[in-house]
Structure 1
Amino acid sequence: VPVPETNLLELRAEGEHPERLQQLVNRWAESYEEFRAEEIEAASGRTTAELEDQQVQLQARIDAARAELQSFREANDIVSLERGENSSLAKLKGLNDSLNKAQETLIAARARKTAIDEAIARGETVVPSEQKAEIAKLQLGVQRGQIRLAELRQRYTQVYIDRDPVLKSLPGELRAMQDELAHAIRLARTTVSDEAQQAVEAALVSVAALEQQLVDHQRDVQLFNDRFKEFKALEENLTRLDTLHADNQQRLAQIQVSNFKKYPPIQVVEWARIPAAPIYPDYDRDLLIAIAAALGLALFVTWLVEYLSGQAASPSGTPYLGVRIHHTDQLQGPQTGDSRLIDHPGSQPDALAAPPPNLPVLPRELAVAEVSALMGAIEPTTAAYATLLLSGVSPYELPLLHAGCFNDDQRQISVPGAGRREVVISARAWQRLQDILGNLDEARMSLPVAEIDSHLRAGAQGARLADPGSINALALWHTYVVFLIRQGVDASALAQRVGAVPPEVLATLMHYAPPDGNRPPGSIEFTHPAL
């Protein structure tokens, strides 16, 4: 049997032996779970098994290919996937750079040698750096000697100079200095020329050695290129295997998603158990039916006697229960009686017409005094469930509650299901819940709704309330909904507190709203006076 406004199914079995029926229903649920698992396995198990086997084989091949690639890299000194960053190619580049520099040095050495030879041929003074100071000193001495000899010849005659023992030696000293200068210049030219020639020969030797090294290393580079091609092939093979592995993994995920859509998961919210009270026959109901039948028969006999006696029928209308739309002046101030009774003395004469036939039948609304009397007459566990109903949790949501829905620190109830919401209750109302919080687990509640209804009817009889058969979990929840609507709560705040209400029922309930319109949620009292 589907549970209204939920995605739950209720399995029921009725009979004379409750123990066997409990085992039968539980076995029924277990068999369905096994059948569902076998159906999913038959639909996708073979394909999934083949793909998983392929995944294992591919993973083994990937591990082997990765190990082979690593060994090949270490054996051939491949440190990077970029060719230029490996040692062989880096060394080849270094040799080319060195050869270019050596050739530039050779060209510069030859150019210098040619320039020196041309300067010597023109008779220019070519002096090495380390001899420049010495030759400059000799040139200065020769220049001074020439100047002094020229000054003496201007002042004295040659005869006088030749007779003077000091002056006559000056020309000889000057010639000796000139000879020494000429010898130093010849030696400097020879030195510079030899150094230039040696630089050329050294550059030639360097170029020849680098060219030979380059030739030898090119063979190594060719071998490295072949190995690098093999390395790239191994790497491409590993990439291909990784791609196949990822594709298979994606196919597995798609199969799992399609199975989830085609075969949604099921969960047993509550296993069958032996009821505390007999489901059938319902003695309380049968008693009420018998009383109602007797009362009806008595009324019929009375009417028949009056009819046969010729008495006229009473002019007053027959009282009935229903939803009545009040005018504005009728909603001012408190009502002294039950306004749901259409022929109540306080009702207006023009309100005696029956309500439209298309209005939905609403549960019974209990007065605050009736709720208080009922709460005092029922045991604590049933009173705890009644507190949940008078706080906005509907009877259809009670089976969904578990221990994880209750936050003791914030006094907050997380209501699951289609009308998921957070309900905060007062500290006094929270104390009433302690009798059921210890009996809840992660998947079930201790009392079914039918058993709660039975306890509520028994409590109503004990409190001597009128019509106890109409007092049930839905009536308590309906009483709380009407309590909020009479305060002027809007539809949004109402849905956040009690969950979704069908539009046609909500439209009927809005007749209880005050004439001055909705009030903000902050001015609404969400705790029922009976709590």
Structure 2
Amino acid sequence: MFPYRHDFQIVGDDFYRSHPTPWPRRLRRRTLFLLVLLPLLLITETYVFLQPAVFESQALVLTTAATDIDQTHAEADLEHVNIQKQVLLGQPVLAKTTETLKQQAGIEHPNINQLKELFQVKPVADTNLVQLAAEGSHPQFLQMALNTWIKTYQQIRAEYIAEITDKASTSIKSELTRLEQQVRDKRQDIESFRLQHDILSLESTDNEAHARLQGLNTSLNAAMEEEAKAKAKLDAIHAAVAEGKAVVPEADSQSLAALTQQAERLRERLEAQRSQYTDEYIEFHPSLRNLKTQLAELDEKIASKEQAGSSYATQEAENAYGAAHRTVLTIQKQMAEHKQKAAEYTNQFAKHKAMQEELLKLEELLQQTKQRLVEIDVKQRQSNPQLDVVDWASLPDKPVKPDYGRDAGIAGAASLAIALLVVWLNDYLNKEPTLTTINSVTEFQIYQQSEPKLENNADNLTVGTERRNRLRRADDLKQLPDETTDS
């Protein structure tokens, strides 16, 4: 038995697994790639470049009447724009457009459904502008169809406005004739009523009955005011007399005032003498006694004059009050006599005034109707504005779609991707298992080691790996990661 056990390990090298595929296999892959790519390219590119060119003709229109230069621009009316969109694509406009196009020679004659698919209406945001467009393969036809569509709409719109304007004018003229007859009849009725009731003018102050009544009212008011003043003056005199106050007429007031002042001076002199002398001495002394006598006579004269003046003032106030009261009674009696006549006149004048107001209303209505007749055309244009063409349809010079360059690039990229996918699927489905052969052996390791049961008998001598022998192919130049140089 050998004292050593030899262990062998064969390690496969992954380098050859990643080595390029042999030439026949690569040829098959390239052939498959080209067989898939070329037909796909031919089909897709042919489809792309055989697509018909689509042209687009555009026109820009304004759905409201253009404003004058001195007026502000009309605000955007989205509802009106949407209504015009529906009208443009409506059956009447498209049917009329179809009939017009059928009269043109040398072009195709589409039907209503084809025109509805051909035409497009695109409102411009926040404006009253509408962009009209048509797409197709014939540029000249698109331009003609789009302009014919616009002209047809304008014609139908003009005919509609003319029709409703004529109807409105006829109706207003009939109403105008009726109003003129009513105004003439009303004026005749007013004139007959005025002559019958002797009404001179529209102003009540110019008529005799009313003027008389108004004068009596004014006089009565003045008389009652005078009566009230006289009564107040009489009451004031009575109150003053009752309180012991002097009441004198204006004519006696100055003389009474002079007497009063003279009495006051004598009284002051007497009071001054009394401060110096006693009453017995004053009575004994002639000059001083005379001063006292003069003052007493003067006071008596003042009292007499005040009494006479009060009586005169009272009598004068009573006479004035009586006269004012009699005046009021007289005027009231006269007004009572004219009461029935005044009431009748007031009633007739009110009727006359009401008839005048009715005539005024009829005349105003007549004037408004005449104004409506004058402005009917302007109002119809405002409520039904014509389509103002900002830019007529132009002849398109290049197609808007398809984009041949972009579509060809997309088709080529898609064909390339499909071809690569087919090749990868083919490799994946036909993959062969990898077997380790002598051609793939890159390392042969020999380990020398004592058997476990002989270790104790060999004096515990540790035997390790003495050497590694590497067996490599002569044409294998791959550097192993654990390869070292023997010393």
| Structure ranking higher in strand proportion | 2
Q: Same fold (TM over 0.5)?
A: no
Normalization by structure 2: what TM-score? 0.36
Larger Rg, first or second structure (1 or 2): 2
Greater RCO, 1 or 2 (C-alpha within 8 Å, sep 6+): 2
